[in-house]
C-alpha cells in the first residue's frame, strides 16, 4: 500500500480535514485499491482519523495514502487545520459555539470545498476501564469509531479487572468521535488507550489538542497518575472527571484533588460518562478552563 514508507511528502495530522478536488472528482471511479476507496469516501470533508476508521486502515497507513493523494492533487488539505497548540481565537470560537443549547447534532457538511471547517481536538484519557469509550460514545454525533479488542489470557496479570469484572474488551489504539459546532467548527474527541503498553501513541493523539479530560475511577485512583503527570509535564490544560460508577459518588472532589496533588485551578468534577448532558458539561468546563489558561 505504501511501499514500506511511513510518511509522505505532505505531513497529515490525524485530525486534519481533507476534501476532494475537481481533479479528484474526475478520477474518483478509476483509482484502485485503497487509494480509490479513500476518494470514494471523501464526498464530504473528512479527517484522516475518520478515513482510517471507516476503511479499517492502520492510522499510519491512512495518513501516508492521504498525503500521497494530496501531493497528486486529488485531495486538498484544509489549510485552516490546527497545527501545534491552538491559538486564542480558536479557543474563543469553540467556547462561543459550545453553549449547551448549541451543542447539538447537525447534518454533515455538503460537498468538499475550501471552506472546510476548523477541526478542534480534545483528548479523553485515564487508566484502564474508567469509561473513556462510553464518554466518547455518549456525545458523538456519529457512531463512535473504536478499536476495541477482546481481553484474552495474555492480559491476565497485566490488566486488573478485579473491580471491573464485566469488562471484556479494551481499546488498543483509540476511540474517536465527532461533534459539529455550527458551520465553522468540528470537535474531534480522541480517547486514548488506558494501558501503559500503548503510551507510545499518546504524543500523536495529543498533538494540537486544546486540552484533555482525565477520567478517574476513585476505586483505582492510582491508575490515573500517569495521565495527570503527562498533561502537567506537557503543560496541556485538563480537567479531572470523577466517573460515578453505579450512579454513586464515593468521594468528595476536594479530597480527590488533594490525593492527586493537582493545582487549585484545575477543575475536578463529577460526571456520568453514559449521560450526554454530563459529558457535554465536562467538555464545556474544559474549554472554559483552557480559555482561562490561554489568557493568563
Per-residue pLDDT tens over the stretch 129-145: 899 989 999 999 887 77
Of the pLDDT bands very low, low, confident and very high (cuts 50, 70, 90), residue 251 is: confident
Query: Helices (DSSP H) in 142-188: which residue ranges?
Result: none
Please give the residue that has the higher pLDDT: either 134 or 116: 134
Q: Report the pLDDT value the prediction gives residue 264, as an integer from 0 to 100.
A: 92
Residue of 52, 169, 192, 183 whose CA lies nearest to 121: 192
Give CA–CA dist 42/75, Å, rounded: 9
Q: What is the pTM of this model?
A: 0.76
Residue 281: CB atoms within 10 A of its CB come to 16
pLDDT digits (tens, 9 = 90+) for 92-107: 666 666 544 444 433 3
- What is the per-residue DSSP string for 183-225? TTEEEEEEEPPSSGGGGGGHHHHHTT-SEEEEEE-GGGGGGGH
The predicted structure's pLDDT at residue 156: 47
CA 6 from centroid of its chain's CA atoms: 22
pLDDT per position as a tens digit, 152-206? 444 445 445 555 444 444 444 578 888 887 777 788 899 988 656 656 678 888 8
Q: Which residue has the higher pLDDT, 201 or 258?
A: 258
- CATH classification (class only), 89-295: alpha beta
Task: State the Cα–Cα distance between residues 262 and 140, nearest whole angstrom.
Answer: 29
Residue 185: the pLDDT is 77
pLDDT for residue 47 is more than 70: yes
Angle of helix 88-97 versus helix 276-295 axis, rounded to 10: 150
What is the structure's pLDDT at 180? Answer: 83
**By C-alpha distance, which of 270, 240, 267, 238 is closest to 252?**
270
* 284 pLDDT higher than 80: yes
Say what percent of the chain tops pLDDT 70: 74
Helix runs in the chain, H state only: 22-27, 33-41, 48-54, 59-71, 88-97, 132-139, 202-206, 225-233, 253-260, 276-295
Give domain limits for the chain.
17-77, 89-295
What local confidence, expressed as pLDDT, does residue 295 receive? 81
- Answer yes or no: are the C-beta atoms of 137 and 144 closer than 8 Å: yes
Contact 202, 229 (CB under 8 A): no
pLDDT grade for 90, boundaries at 50, 70 and 90: low
Where does the pLDDT of residue 73 fall: very low under 50, low under 70, confident under 90, or very high at 90 and above?
very high
SS3 of 176, please? Answer: strand
Q: How confident is the model at residue 279 (pLDDT cuts 50, 70, 90)?
A: very high
In sequence order, the β-bridge partners of residue 191 are 124, 175
Residue from 34, 23, 84 nearest 57 by CA:
34
Highest mean pLDDT among 63-67, 78-82, 218-222: 63-67
How does residue 111 score in pLDDT terms, banded at 50, 70 and 90?
A: very low
What distance, in Å, lies between the first and last C-alpha atoms of the chain?
Answer: 47
| Confidence band for 74, pLDDT divided at 50, 70 and 90 | very high
Predicted pLDDT of residue 181: 77
pLDDT category of residue 21 using cuts at 50, 70 and 90: very high
Amino acid at each position: 500500500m505504501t511501499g514500506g514508507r511511513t510518511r509522505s511528502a505532505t505531513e497529515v495530522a490525524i485530525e486534519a480535514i481533507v476534501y476532494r478536488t475537481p481533479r479528484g472528482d474526475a478520477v474518483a471511479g478509476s483509482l484502485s485499491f485503497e487509494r480509490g476507496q479513500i476518494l470514494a469516501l471523501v464526498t464530504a470533508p473528512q479527517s484522516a482519523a475518520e478515513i482510517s476508521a471507516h476503511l479499517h486502515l492502520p492510522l499510519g497507513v491512512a495518513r501516508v495514502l492521504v498525503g500521497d493523494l494530496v501531493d497528486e492533487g486529488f485531495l486538498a488539505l484544509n489549510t485552516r487545520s490546527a497545527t501545534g497548540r491552538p491559538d486564542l481565537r480558536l479557543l474563543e470560537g469553540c467556547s462561543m459555539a459550545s453553549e449547551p443549547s448549541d451543542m447539538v447534532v447537525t447534518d454533515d457538511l455538503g460537498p468538499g470545498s475550501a471552506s472546510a471547517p476548523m477541526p478542534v481536538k480534545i483528548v479523553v484519557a485515564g487508566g484502564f476501564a474508567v469509561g473513556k469509550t462510553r464518554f466518547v460514545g455518549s456525545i458523538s454525533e456519529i457512531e463512535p469509531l473504536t478499536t476495541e479488542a477482546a481481553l484474552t489470557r495474555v492480559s491476565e496479570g497485566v490488566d486488573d479487572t478485579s473491580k471491573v469484572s464485566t469488562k471484556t474488551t479494551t481499546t488498543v489504539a483509540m476511540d474517536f468521535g465527532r461533534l459539529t459546532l455550527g458551520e465553522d467548527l468540528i470537535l474531534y474527541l480522541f480517547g486514548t488507550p488506558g494501558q501503559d503498553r500503548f503510551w507510545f501513541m499518546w504524543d500523536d493523539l495529543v498533538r494540537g489538542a486544546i486540552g484533555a479530560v482525565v477520567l478517574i475511577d476513585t476505586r483505582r485512583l492510582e491508575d490515573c497518575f500517569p495521565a495527570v503527570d503527562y498533561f502537567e509535564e506537557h503543560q496541556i490544560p485538563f480537567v479531572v472527571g470523577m466517573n460515578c460508577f453505579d450512579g454513586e459518588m464515593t468521594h468528595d472532589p476536594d479530597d480527590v484533588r488533594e490525593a492527586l496533588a493537582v493545582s487549585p485551578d484545575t477543575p475536578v468534577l463529577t460526571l456520568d460518562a453514559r449521560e450526554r448532558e454530563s459529558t457535554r458539561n465536562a467538555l464545556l468546563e474544559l474549554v472554559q478552563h483552557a480559555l482561562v489558561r490561554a489568557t493568563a
